[in-house]
Amino acid sequence: MTKPRLSSIGTALLLAAGLLTVASVPGSANVATSVAAAPLTGMTAAPGFVSVAASAPKRDALAKVAVIGTGGTIAGKSESRVGFQSYQPGRTPTAELVQYLQPEVGQIADVSAVDFGGKGSGEYTIAEYHDLTRLVDEQLARADAVVVATGTQTMEELAYWLDLTVRSPKPVVVTGSMRPWTVIGSDGAPNLYNAIVLAASRRTHCFGAVIMMNDEILAARDATKTSTTRLDTIQSPELGILGTVDEKRVRLLRAPARTRDCAQPQQWRTPFDLATMPRDRLVRTEVVYTYADAGGEPITALATAGVKGLVAAGTPSPQQTTALMAAMQSGVVVVAANRNNSGAVYDTPGPVIPAEDLLPQKARLLLLLALSRSSDPAQVRSLFQRYGVTEFDPIR
């Protein structure tokens, strides 16, 4: 009896699921090439979309992954093996962390190590963020992917900064830990290993920066720190994770909207090219937290000190509203953001720019970059609409 022939789509699906081998399929060479070029997550695309896989590099040899260390808990040293919260951050060289993962990590990637700094994440300045972006792009010029190991306190901000400013579409994976490297049950080693696995897979090509923590992959824009002690602290409360890393298996279930422009580098890149934005000319922006009966004096003081942009986190008090109006009249650009972990601010009065669901600390970074490019409030608003809340649009 003649066996029924599978359609090319059916064959590709069975191959991807592991239910067929390439050798068992007539004309399998073409099918195998198709599957290798288009992983299951990108086998089909809506009209107007370009598959990320189609723009990703070929994977013939071990990926070159550069690990950049900035200090933080992951590089911390404790006085005892149970000093889970009592330790000194940033005391272990990055090369030493990578060496600890050998020989296993050497089987998945050709890993190099670079020390950027050894501080807690909250100690870094915006000027140093500028330097880190330039270093990441420099490493990506000769590596296939970069992993940035950092502290968790401002991890979400550093990751979002890199997301907005790195020029290369190659994978950038940010990781860290909640327990220092030297304690029993530290999450540092598995987090760094998984971050290298993810980076070496090159599956997040054109994703921008992502965070890899606690086996989960999160978009830099969406992630936030939710606990000062728990290992699952980095979460995306409203939008959820992008996928997971389970041993050597990378599972991607969704992608940031910017991947739609992967085949068009000029569209994919943001306009925040730090090569044309000197570190000493980045403007100052601040976040003002709102609460019941809050005074307006801090706002007035910040405007007087030369701050060019303010993010109001929450609904301002009457005193804050008066101070914000006066600040806007003096040229300060104001952004309204939600002070909660989810929800959005859409409608704002007059020239106030809505951050929608962008968290205040991230809206502050986007405002800083936008104002460093243009002092025109209309242009700043346009940049927020384009890069602060990137949405999938099948008509584009």
Catalytic residue numbers, as ranges: 73
d(CA 170, CA 209): 9
Contact (Cβ atoms closer than 8 angstroms) between residue 189 and residue 262: no
38: closest CA among 23, 49, 27?
49
Residue given tokens 């070029």 in the structure block: 37
Chain centroid, CA 251 distance in Å: 17
d(CA 24, CA 41): 24
Instruction: Report strand pairing: 87-88 vs 77-78.
Output: antiparallel
Q: How far is CA 379 from CA 306, 332, 334, 374, 375, in A?
A: 20, 14, 13, 7, 8
Burial of 214 (0-12, 13-18, 19+ CB in 10 A): buried
Q: What is the DSSP string of 50-116?
A: --HHHHSPP--SPEEEEEEEEESGGG-EESSTT-SS-EETT-S-HHHHHHHTTTTGGGTEEEEEEEE
Q: How far is CA 338 from CA 233, 288, 324, 357, in A?
A: 20, 11, 16, 7
Written as one letter, the residue type at 16 is A
d(CA 81, CA 90): 17
Q: In the 8-state DSSP scheme, what is residue 49?
A: -
